Structure 1
Amino acid sequence: MANGVWHTEYGIEINLTKPDLGVDGYPGLLQEIMTSVSDRNPQLLECLAHHQGKECASEAGGKSPWMFIRRARVGGRFPLVAAHLPITHKATPAESAQHKATKERIVETASRYGLDAEAEVSTANRRSVSDALVTGPTGVRIGWEIQYHHISPSSVHRRSVNAVQHDITPLWVAKDRTTSLIDRAPWARVDDMPWKDITDGKEMVIRGGYRYLQVWKCVPSSDRHCPLSEGAGHCGGIHAEWFLPALCQPEKRPVQIEDLVLSSATGESVPVYVPNRGSGRAGRHMWVPSGDCELWRELVGEKVPLPVAPEQEEDDQITFAEQEINRTCRAGEEGWFVSDARPIRDLGQPTGGVTLPRMPVQRSVKPTLITSVERAAASAALGCPPWELGLCAGCGQLMRRHGRYAAMYCAACRSELNGR
């Protein structure tokens, strides 16, 4: 990897370790040099050694003297580094067979359900191709992208935005928990399976990327811990968080790839983007039941889910060390700006979340003053329809006051009264 390149069109030397790239008067230069090679002149950036007529180890090895820029990950820092083209990953025979088998299974599943499905469909501007395009009965179009090898975050972002602009909802399929496409766009992770098992119809469970909304009241009797407390405390509020099927209470049935093919096309499952607690930028993409999505929007006041996350998240901001350029060709050398192992992005932990504060104790509060958000949250947390809600005669908290299993006092007040 190199820390400098030659810009062939501007005739300038670029220092990747400096915030201004070592040059003045070129606004937008950083964005330009980090543009995907498929969207720019592949000979835009040149190895400095090659430009100066010195030995280029890459060219001597039968490869290209032209370069591309990426963010590396070194000891918690994110420097820009340059590497020699070609950058296109050549899939192994096993990867190619897996890719083809998954694509064919998605198309065959959609066709079996009576949905329109095609393989290898280009967008109108031909800037991206969906491995499988499934169209639902109402015209919803899902562009399946099977990505079983590494892809840069910028490529995922660019292709996803292009799909959305052409009324296609992208759905990326991965098999690796560390792949950078996770949470860059709507995604789903499956097991690393032999192509023969995929073709033979062996169960393909969605291991990551599909979640259910769980709403609960944070009281001592709750089976869940308070997400706002490091200990075993309870805040008395109502929490809403997104969980994998196996971590739901009660546990939900695993989602198969066939389930997602159908439900995504019919609108029964939809993509949402949920910011992490305390951060408006970093967050999680996920597929969720449409009913859970509607409840979530009502709880957080969000009218439409965000289709694509920010291209650059807070945890991977570029680091500039401000060093001198090394003009020696570094192609083929190991241990020089080698990236750390990619972190696991699919952790499977509860994510997102919102907490509604405990309602104030006011015995004179009228039910008509309860907000729709409070009513929706309490209904989900208590497992009863909204019309069965009412105020506890003791503390004024929302509880199940009407219908079957109704009571005048909440559990906490009943416990206090019985103890007197």
Structure 2
Amino acid sequence: MTGDASSEIIDRAPWARVDDVPWQRIVSPLAMILRGGVRHLQIWKCTASSERSCPETGSHCDKFHSGWFLPALCVPQERATALDELVVTSADGEHVAVRVRDTQDPRRASYLWALAEDVQRWRDLTDDGEGEPEDLPADDEPVTYTEEELDSSCRYGNQDRQYFSDPRPRRDMMSATGLHTFDTAPDHPYRAPRRPVQMRRLSTRERAVIADELGCPVWEIGPCALCAEPIHRYGRSSGLACVSCRATTLSR
């Protein structure tokens, strides 16, 4: 687990990224939502009316594509996974770790956590196994050392120009991973989201009643990140998950 999008552990092993928060937030009962490392399989037909542009042409190709997407980028949107939830579901086999090759660059591979049924379906579609770590070369060049005599002279202020070290690049990328294209439709290409995040539609009166019960303005009502029930989601002293989901998470 890391809070740094440029951390070297990303795509070197199964990983998860959370927000970089102080220790008070970590020990609080609020759920820590995973921002990266967990993805969902998406399969769609690439047409002019598709909500996604073609990953190959930028327009549409009338073929089928599949890929791994973050929950917020799924169509329809999937709900996010909490860190405590991943600990349990990875232990009982609901989430499994998988390594996906980049079809554009075979030297690159991404690690991700995904639902076991999505992983099995992806393997059936692509006929692609994870392979052994030796199958892929390392992302970085090997470190070599050439013995040279130590130069102890100070050159500070004598350089012709200043040199600055570049920041580490972001390793947690938001783009789709493991894209594949099919000429014909796979069996059962579509499925309803297993864990939808959309909050049920509320009338003006229902929203006002809920806001009165929670003691917050109506515009601060939003969905629980785990069960999509309406809660005090936005504004000061708000949380990402409802009391029931927090209690369930803590009981685990």
| TM-score of the alignment, normalized to the shorter chain, above 0.5 | yes
The match for 1:351 among 177, 188, 206 is 177
User: 1:350 and 1:331 mapped to 2: Cα distance?
Assistant: 48
Indicate the residue corresponding to 2:189 in structure 1: 380
Q: Secondary structure at the match of 1:259?
A: helix
The offset of 1:292, in angstroms, is: 0.6
The match for 2:141 among 304, 309, 317 is 317
User: 2:153 and 2:10 mapped to 1: Cα distance?
Assistant: 31
**Contact between 2:99 and 2:130, CA under 8 Å: does it hold in 1?**
no
Q: Secondary structure at the match of 1:379?
A: coil
The offset of 1:339, in angstroms, is: 4.3
**Contact between 2:72 and 2:78, CA under 8 Å: does it hold in 1?**
yes
User: 2:53 and 2:28 mapped to 1: Cα distance?
Assistant: 42
User: 1:345 and 1:332 mapped to 2: Cα distance?
Assistant: 34
User: 2:137 and 2:164 mapped to 1: Cα distance?
Assistant: 23
Indicate the residue corresponding to 2:81 in structure 1: 255
User: 2:129 and 2:123 mapped to 1: Cα distance?
Assistant: 6
**Contact between 1:271 and 1:285, CA under 8 Å: does it hold in 2?**
yes
The offset of 1:333, in angstroms, is: 7.4
Unpaired runs of 5+ residues, structure 1, are 1-172, 360-373, 385-420
The match for 1:222 among 44, 50, 56 is 50
Change (3 A) 1:196 1:319: closer
Change (3 A) 1:214 1:307: farther
Unpaired runs of 5+ residues, structure 2, are 193-252
Map 1:26-37; keep pairs closer than 5 Å. none
Indicate the residue corresponding to 1:280 in structure 2: 106
The offset of 1:350, in angstroms, is: 1.4
The match for 2:10 among 182, 196, 199 is 182
User: 1:308 and 1:265 mapped to 2: Cα distance?
Assistant: 26
Which one has the bigger strand percentage? 1
The offset of 1:236, in angstroms, is: 1.5
The offset of 1:222, in angstroms, is: 1.5
User: 2:154 and 2:85 mapped to 1: Cα distance?
Assistant: 46
Indicate the residue corresponding to 2:66 in structure 1: 240
The offset of 1:324, in angstroms, is: 11
Q: Which amino acid aligns with 1:312?
A: A
Q: Secondary structure at the match of 2:189?
A: helix
The offset of 1:281, in angstroms, is: 2.1
Change (3 A) 1:298 1:306: farther
The offset of 1:268, in angstroms, is: 0.4
User: 1:270 and 1:307 mapped to 2: Cα distance?
Assistant: 17
**Contact between 2:39 and 2:69, CA under 8 Å: does it hold in 1?**
yes
Q: Secondary structure at the match of 1:285?
A: strand
**Contact between 2:42 and 2:67, CA under 8 Å: does it hold in 1?**
yes
**Are 2:151 and 1:328 equivalent residues in the alignment?**
yes
**Contact between 2:107 and 2:137, CA under 8 Å: does it hold in 1?**
no
The offset of 1:216, in angstroms, is: 0.5
**Contact between 1:273 and 1:307, CA under 8 Å: does it hold in 2?**
no
Change (3 A) 1:286 1:247: same
The offset of 1:310, in angstroms, is: 4.7
Indicate the residue corresponding to 1:203 in structure 2: 31
Change (3 A) 1:330 1:311: farther
Indicate the residue corresponding to 1:409 in structure 2: none
The CA RMSD over aligned residues, in Å, is 3.3
Q: Which amino acid aligns with 1:184?
A: R
Change (3 A) 1:292 1:308: farther
Q: Which amino acid aligns with 2:34?
A: I
- Percent of aligned pairs sharing the same letter: 37
The offset of 1:245, in angstroms, is: 0.3
User: 1:258 and 1:342 mapped to 2: Cα distance?
Assistant: 29
Q: Which amino acid aligns with 1:194?
A: P
Indicate the residue corresponding to 2:128 in structure 1: 302
Change (3 A) 1:203 1:291: same
User: 2:117 and 2:91 mapped to 1: Cα distance?
Assistant: 15
Q: Which amino acid aligns with 2:101?
A: P
